[in-house]
Structure 1
Amino acid sequence: MKKVNGHEIIALFEQWSPKRFAMDGDPVGLHIGQLNRQVEKALVTLDVNEDVIDEAIHIGANLVIAHHPPIFRPLKNIMTDTPQGRMIEKCIKHDIAVYAAHTNLDVAPGGVNDLLASKLDLADTEIIEPTYVEQMYKLVVFAPESHVAEIRQALGKAGAGAIGDYTSCSFSSTGTGRFTPNDTAQPYIGAVGKEEAVAEEKIEVILPSMLREKVLKAMLAAHPYEEPAYDLFQLDQPNIRYGLGRIGKLREKTTLAQFAAHVKHVFGVPALRFVGEETKEIRKVAVLGGDGNKYIGAAKRAGADVLVTGDLYYHVAHDAQAMGLAVIDPGHNIEKVMIDGVANYMQNACAEARYEVRFIRSEVITEPFNFI
C-alpha cells in the first residue's frame, strides 16, 4: 500500500464526480486548507460545522469531504469569535482540509440522486433534468496483430468502449500497414531505410471527452510502436447526458399514503409532509435531493405520479396540487445517504489504487430541526 496525499485522493474522487458536473455558480472544490499533505484518515459528512470539525480532530482526520459547501457565499472577513470563524480557525490550526462536492455529486452517476433512488428501490431510472452533455469521441488505432488483445484490454480498463450496460466494446478490421524507418528511428518491427509491410488490425472504440487523456495514455503505453498511428474523431452522436434528479418505477403500484409511509421509513425521518390525495395511485416516482422546488414541472413532464424532494414552498405545493403532481417532502437532510455512498466508493477506489487511507463516516447529526 502507498501513502497518499489529498491531491491524489481528490483526483480519484473527481474521476467519479468532476467539477464540470456542477451547476453554474456552485462553489464546489477545496474550501479550507490545502491538499498537498499526507492523508491517513478522511471524514465524510453531509454538512460542515464546528461539531463535525471537532469530530475530525478527535479521530485524527485531516481531510473532510462534504456535500454542502461550508462557504457558500464569499466571505468579507473571518471573525474567529463567530461559529463559522471558529470552525475555519480550527481547520487551519489542525491542518484539516475541507473539500465540498455539491451539485456535481447530485449529478454524478452513483451520486446523491442515484443513492436516493436506490433507497426507494426504483427500477429503470432516468434523469429528470439534463444539465450536462458529455461530448463523445471515436479512437481509431492501428496495431500489429501480436499486440491487439493487449491494447484492447488497456483501452477497456481505461474506460473506453462503454456503451449502455456494456463495457470494453470495440470493432476490429484487418489490413496491411506500410512504413519506412528513417536513420534516427528505433523501429519495433523492420529495419532502418527498408520499407516494411506488417499485418495489422484497426481497433475502433468510443469514449467520452473526460477520458481522452487517460485512454490515449493507456493506448500509447500498451502499443509497441515508437510512433503509433491513430485518429481521434469528435462524434455528433451518441452523447452522454447527465443531470439532476431521477425518475423510475416502483416494483408494484401503491397509494400515496402507503408510499409516504415507506419514504418515512426508508429515510428514517421522524415526520414528513405530502401533497395530494391519500388514495392516489403511485407507480412512477421522481426523486431529487435537496431543494426541488424548481423541478416540479420537469417531474410532471417526465410522467411522475409523485416527486420526493425537500424544502417544499407553500405556493409551489399549490402549483403541484393544481397540476396533479403529488409531492412528498421528507426534508433536506435525507441527502445524508451520501455519507455511506461516498465512503464506500472512495474506500474501494483507493484500495484499487493501493492507497493507504481510511474513510470514516461522520456520526454528527446535522439535521437542524426538531419535531413534536
Structure 2
Amino acid sequence: MTIKGTELIQAMEVWAPKHMAMEKDRIGLQVGEPDEEVKGVLVALDVTEAVVDEAIRMGANWIVAHHAIIFRPLKDLRTDRPAGRMYAKLLTHKINVFIAHTNLDAAEGGVNDVMCDLLGIKDREVLLPTNRPSYHKIVVFIPDSHHEKVLTAMCEAGAGAIGDYSHCTFNLEGTGTFLPGAGSDPYIGKQGELAKVSEVRLETIVSTEVRESVIQAMKNAHPYEEVAYDMYPLDLQGKVVGIGRVGSLPSTMTLQELAEKMKTAYRLTGLRMVGEPDHLVNRVAVLGGSGGGYYREALSQGADVYITGDLDHHTVMDAKAEGLTLLDPGHHAEELVLETVKDRLQKMLPSVQVEVTTVDTNPFTFV
C-alpha cells in the first residue's frame, strides 16, 4: 500500500494542529513535496548532517523533526560548508523534512505532557494559554457518487476533529432538488428541468482556525457548480490549549529529591538547580525547551519549582529573588517525546517503517 506524504502530515496535524503553534513559528513541510511517497520515516529532535546520513542508510525519505531545519534566513547554499552540504544531501536523495514544534509542545500527549508523565505530575493545567478554539457546525449536501471524496477532503483539512478522534461526521441520505437556470452548467440535470438527486447530508464540526480551509477543500472536491452548504455558530468552546503545564507531584518532596528523580526519569548525567536543596516542593511548572521568559507565569499559577531549559543568569537571579526554585535539564530534554512521535506515526501508518534517530544531537556534555 502506497502512503503519500499528505497522509503522514495529516497524521501529525490531527495530533498537533497548526493552529496550536505560536505565532510565526516555523512548522510544517520545510523540504520536499507533500505528495512524495513515504518509504520510511526517521524521527529526530534536530536535523543535522549525521541525521540525514542515517536516514539515507535506513532508506527513509521522510524526517519528522521538532526543531526547524530552516530557522534563520539562509544566506547561501554553498555545498563546501556544513549547512549547504546537508541540504544538498536532502535534495539529492529526495528526503522530505516535516517540522512539528510549538504545536507539538502544546498538543495533548506532546512534549510537555511526556515530561510531566515521567515525573508523575497530575491535575495538570496549561501554563501559557495561547488559544481556546470556538466551533461551527458545517452541513453540506453531496451526491452519492462524491460522498466519500468530499468527506475525506473536509476531514483532511481539519473538520471533524474531536479530541484524539478525527473524521467525526454524521451522514443522512435523502433527495435533493434544484432547477438549473439560464447560464448554468450543471453537473447533473439540464437547464430548465427540475432535477431530483439522491444526496447525502453530511454534517460535522469545524474550528474557527480551519473553517476557511475546510470550506475550500469541500468546494474543490464537490462536483456541483454551486455547492449547497450551511454554517452554524455553536455555543461551544474547545479546551484551552497552550505551551507548558503546571500540576502537582504525587507527594511533596525536597528540591534535591525532585532533581534526583528528574536525572533518572529524563536520562540525564546532570542538571542545573537553583534553590536550597531541602526546600519543599509540590506544585510544578514544566515547559520543554527554552522557557526562561515565562517564569512569571509559573509564579502566577502557584508553582513551587519551574522546570525548563536554557536559563540565563539574569532570568535566574530575578526568578530566585521572587522566591521561585528552578531545575534546568537543558533544551535537549525535549527528545523525550521522540518515542511517542514514533509510536503515533507507526499506529497511523502501519505499513511504513518508523524509527527514532540514534544520533545524539545534544551539543552539550557534562564534564
TM-score above 0.5, yes or no: yes
Match runs of 1:135-174 below 5 Å: 135-138=134-137, 162=162
Residue 365 of structure 2 corresponds to residue 370 of structure 1: yes
Measure, in 1, the Cα distance between the counterparts of 2:203 and 2:35: 39
Q: Which residue does the alignment assign to 1:81?
A: 80
* TM-aligned CA deviation for residue 289 of structure 1: 0.5
- Contact persistence 1:133–1:242 (CA under 8 A): yes
The code of the aligned residue for 2:359 comes to: V
Label 1:240 to 1:139 Cα distance change in 2 as closer, same or farther (>3 A): farther
Counterpart of 1:199 in structure 2 is none
C-alpha contact (below 8 Å) 2:175/2:198 kept by paired residues: no
> Which residue pairs with 1:186 in the alignment?
196
| Distance in 2, Cα, partners of 1:324 & 1:102 | 31
Structure 1 unaligned segments of length 5 or more: list them: 143-157, 171-176, 190-202, 218-227
1:302 aligns with 2:339: no
Q: Map of 1:179-258 to 2, 5 A cutoff?
A: 184-186=194-196, 208-209=207-208, 232-235=231-234, 237-258=236-257
CA contact (8 A) 2:308 2:329 kept: yes
Q: Which residue of 2 aligns with 1:55?
A: 54
TM-score normalised by L of structure 1: 0.77
Partner of 1:12: 11
**What per-residue deviation string (whole Å, max 9, x for no partner) do you get for residues 106-151 of structure 1?**
1122211111111221111110011123122246899xxxxxxxxx
Give, in whole Å, the separation in 2 of the partners of 1:109 and 1:256. Answer: 27
CA contact (8 A) 2:106 2:112 kept: yes
C-alpha spacing 1:57/1:169, structure 2 compared with 1 (3 Å): closer
Residues 132 and 237, structure 2, Cα contact 8 Å, conserved in 1: no
Distance 1:71 1:39, change over 3 A: same
Distance in 2 (alpha carbons) for counterparts of 1:60 and 1:335: 25
Separation of aligned partners in 2, 1:163 and 1:92: 36
Q: CA deviation at 1:209?
A: 3.8
Q: Summarize deviations over 1:233-285 as a string: whole Å, max 9, x none.
A: 22455343210101111111111110011111100111101111212211111
Distance 1:237 1:38 in 2: 38
2:69 corresponds to: 70
TM-score by length of 2: 0.78
Q: What CA distance in whole angstroms lies between the structure 2 residues aligned with 1:159 and 1:88?
A: 35
3-state SS of the aligned residue for 1:367? coil
Query: Counterpart of 1:276?
Result: 275
User: Out of 332, 354, 358, which is 1:359 matched to?
Assistant: 354
- For residue 186 of structure 1, what is the amino acid of its counterpart? K
Unaligned runs of 5+ in 2: 142-157, 180-192, 217-226
Match of 2:23 in 1: 24
Residue 116 (1) aligns with residue 111 (2): no
Distance 2:175 2:89 in 1: 65
Tell whether the 8 Å contact from 1:133 to 1:240 is kept in structure 2 after alignment. yes
Pair 264,233 (structure 1): closer, same or farther in 2 beyond 3 Å = same
The reply on whether 1:132 has 2:127 as its aligned counterpart is: no
Equivalenced residues, count: 328
* 1:286-342 residue CA offsets vs partner (Å, 9 max, x unmatched): 110000111100011111111110011111111111111111001111100121111
For residue 264 of structure 2, give the secondary structure of its aligned residue in structure 1: helix
CA shift for structure 1 position 159 = 7.9
Q: Is the 8 A contact 1:293 1:311 kept in 2?
A: yes
Corresponding letter in the other structure for 1:263:
M
Alignment match, 2:322: 323
